Amino acid sequence: MAASSLSNYPPELSPDEEQYLLTNLKDWSIAHGLAVRPPPSFVTATQDPSGVLASTAPVTLFPSPFPRNCFEEGLAIQEAYNELYSAIARDEKWLQGIVEELIDIDDFVSKLWQTHLAVKKEGYVQDLTLGLFRSDYMVHVDQSASNATPGLKQVEFNTIASSFGGLSAQVSALHRYLLSIDAYPASATSVIKAEALRQSKSASSLARGLATAHKAYGQSRTGRPLCVLFVVQDPERNVFDQRHLEYALLEESGVRAFRLPFHRTQADTKLAEDRTLLYSPPNSPATSYEVTTVYFRAGYSPDDYPNEADWTSRLHLERSRAIKCPSILTHLAGCKKVQQVLATPHSPHLKRFLPDEKVASRVLSTFAPIYPLDQSEAGQEAIRLAKNPESAARYVLKPQREGGGNNIYRKAIPPFLQNLPETHWPAYILMEMIEPPALKNAIFRNGELQSGGVICELGVYGVCLWRNGSGDNQGEILENQEAGYLLRTKGDQSEEGGVAAGFGAVDSCCLV
């Protein structure tokens, strides 16, 4: 990055400049659905009994500078990542090896695996699977190397409910709009130039992925109209992010979609004798639709399964003929343990799934060091590092969970392990902290502006549709595409970065 033009970025705003920028940002956001339902701390149920209010989504005022080569590399290798995770999801035996290490110590993974086994026993009736993936990265600068060039390191790979594709497309358009109306002071325009801003096509690309699956399902077997089901949490504050995909699916592909709160699964859906999935909207139970594709925006967290009935619901959907986005095996492929096993130095695993050596080595170069906490030699070394407060300060400890707020950072690791029975340590992986370059920005969240040091995380979306094999047949990929990007930015004092979890903001890339 050219330090000279960036050292004063973003510029200080005068009160008038700030007001002009915020007024335009607020109005554009609401007018374009760059919005969330307000948190209860902001608007109580008594103040909004009919739930009509929305507020602007947390966004950065300025697009964040992002190294062009890192951005381009992230997008360029997404198809390889899609291929990798599709191959893992098709390799049940290999996944079983991973799951077996977790099954006695992680109830959630164990339940998912049992659900898969139950369907397998009966036989799957759908051999297509859809992945709407997101590979997350940070820019890493090796502080010890002189003249180090920034490189892209993967934080994690998401195989279920990869969110913010809807809002991301809007925030890049917001920043472009703010530039076009001269809301940024002239001093910033040496960095923020129209050709440096990257528009994210994530909403439309992810919707096209759903449409591809919908079409690949084929003709209605029941004569009923076909639809896609978004399986969602209830309540869901990030509903507009999902609505953008739903509306793009209808407007660009003419595909009807419904929102099914996960807990309503048994009430609103049923399986025909041949396990065709039928959906009856509560507002018109006499009409029913045949479901081509089940898109999970819920079901990724144990909190989504408060009752045994919720596991029955997951089983019910998995058994069905609808294409799952994702299937349970694909969901399990996103375990952090999988990421750790792939990152094991000199391991044969990456080659197994990505036979092209050049492709594999590009993917490999994005891995950060990750260790198991088990009986292996690497595991014993990692346990030693994790127990010592000084060395632990360079690491993050992660369980097999999604959705933010689950990790243990740095100095908190040794006391956490002390309180956890040693038999449970292998349920976690230990990952080196990626140390991104220092940047500044201003985040506008819940009507408050916070300026200061920030950390950016790039997410690259991928669409992948594949046919599962059986026996010696490894199946085949039918569709494989990079599907736009997300930039999330958080204050550098916060270890977590989740926007929905309340730590970060949606941002866009200004390439430098």
Span from 68-76, 158-166, 260-268, 445-453 in contact with Mg ion (CB under 5 A): 158-166
Three-state DSSP class for residue 33:
coil
Q: Given 37, 134, 208, 337, which residue is catalytic?
A: 134
Q: Does 139 bind ligand ADP (CB under 6 A)?
A: no
Is residue 402 near ligand ADP by the rule CB under 6 A? yes
Give the nearer residue to Mg ion in terms of CB position, either 61 or 171: 171
Which residue's CB atom is positioned nearest to ligand ADP?
Answer: 497
| Residue 158 binds Mg ion, judged by CB under 5 A | yes
Task: Give the number of other Cβ atoms within 10 Å of residue 343's Cβ.
Answer: 20
Cα-based distances in Å from 498 to 58, 63, 83, 475: 11, 18, 26, 35
404 annotated ligand-binding residue: yes
Instruction: Find the shortest distance in angstroms from Cβ 89 to ligand ADP.
Output: 17
147 part of the active site:
no
**Of residues 163, 172, 205, 320, which has the active-site annotation?**
163
**Residue 163 known to be catalytic:** yes
- Is omega for the bond preceding 326 within 30 degrees of 0, making it cis? yes
Cα separation, 221 vs 226, whole angstroms: 10
39 closest CA partner among 448, 446, 444: 446
Torsion angles phi and psi, residue 69, rounded to 5: -65, -35
Distance CA(162)–CA(296), nearest Å, equals 9
Q: Which of 438, 449, 5 is nearest to 187 (CA)?
A: 5
Determine the residue type at 91.
D
Residue 401 beta carbon to ligand ADP: minimum distance, rounded to whole angstroms: 6
Q: Are strands 289-296 and 323-325 parallel, antiparallel or unpaired?
A: parallel
507 touches ligand ADP (CB under 6 A): no
The reply, when asked if residue 297 is annotated as ligand binding, is yes
- Surface-to-core class of residue 303, CB atoms within 10 Å of its CB (0-12 exposed, 13-18 middle, 19+ buried): exposed
Pairing of strands 476-491, 428-432: unpaired
For residue 110, the partner it binds in ligand ADP, Mg ion, none, with Cβ less than 5 to 8 A by kind, is none
Residues 382-421 that bind Mg ion (CB under 5 A): 402
Are the beta carbons of 254 and 224 closer than 8 angstroms? no
Residues 6+ apart with CB under 8 A from 3: none
Q: Does the active-site annotation cover 358? A: no
Residues 497, 484: Cα–Cα separation, whole Å: 19
Residue type, 213: A
Find the binder of ligand ADP among 70, 431, 460, 506 (CB under 6 A).
Answer: 431
Residue 405 annotated as binding? yes
Q: C-beta of 352: minimal distance to ligand ADP in Å?
A: 24
Is residue 339 part of the contact set for Mg ion (CB under 5 A)? no
For ligand ADP, give the closer residue by CB, 63 or 497. 497
Binders of ligand ADP in range 445-474 (CB under 6 A): 457
Exposed, middle or buried, 306 (CB in 10 Å: 0-12/13-18/19+)? exposed
How far apart, in whole angstroms, are the C-alpha atoms of residue 224 and residue 498? 40
The answer to the question of whether 448 is labelled as a binding residue is no
Task: State yes or no: residue 403 binds ligand ADP (CB under 6 A).
Answer: yes
* Tokens at 454, concatenated: 């920030």
Structure tokens at 138: 């940070």
73 is a contact residue toward ligand ADP (CB under 6 A): no
- Is omega for the bond preceding 10 within 30 degrees of 0, making it cis? yes
| Contact with ligand ADP (CB under 6 A) among 5, 406, 446, 481 | 406
Give me the helices (H) in 320-429, please: 328-333, 336-343, 349-353, 357-364, 377-387, 389-392, 413-418
Q: Could you tell me the smallest distance in angstroms from the CB atom of residue 156 to ligand ADP?
A: 4
Contact of residue 335 among Mg ion, ligand ADP, none (CB under 5-8 Å per partner type):
none
Q: Which does 457 bind (CB under 5 to 8 A by kind): ligand ADP, Mg ion, none?
A: ligand ADP
155 counts as binding ligand ADP under rule CB under 6 A? yes
Cα–Cα distance for residue pair 415/133, rounded to 1 Å:
34
Is 321 a residue of the active site? no
Which of 254, 288, 275 shows the shortest CA–CA distance to 127? 275
In the numeric block, which tokens belong to residue 47? 């103040």
Residue 69, annotated as binding a ligand: no
- Asked if 304 interacts with ligand ADP (CB under 6 A), we say no
Does 402 count as an annotated binding residue? yes
Q: Provide the H-helix boundaries in 101-238.
A: 107-122, 165-180, 202-217
Tell me which of 64, 86, 158, 202 is the catalytic residue. 158
Active site (annotated) includes residue 482: no
434: partner contacted, choices Mg ion, ligand ADP, none (Cβ within 5-8 A by kind): ligand ADP
Q: Does the annotation count 90 as an active-site position?
A: no
Residues 356-375 that bind ligand ADP (CB under 6 A): 368
Total residues contacting ligand ADP (rule CB under 6 A)? 20
Binding site for ligand ADP (CB under 6 A): 136, 138, 155-156, 368, 396, 398, 401-404, 406-407, 431, 433-434, 457, 495-497
Binding-site residue ranges for Mg(2+): 156, 158, 402
Provide the annotated active-site residues: 134, 156, 158, 163, 336, 398, 402-403, 488
Binding-site residue ranges: 134, 156, 158, 160-163, 236-238, 242, 297-300, 336, 398-407, 409, 431-434, 457, 488, 490, 496, 499-500
Binding-site residue ranges for substrate: 134, 160-163, 236-238, 242, 297-300, 488, 499-500
Binding site for Mg ion (CB under 5 A): 156, 158, 402
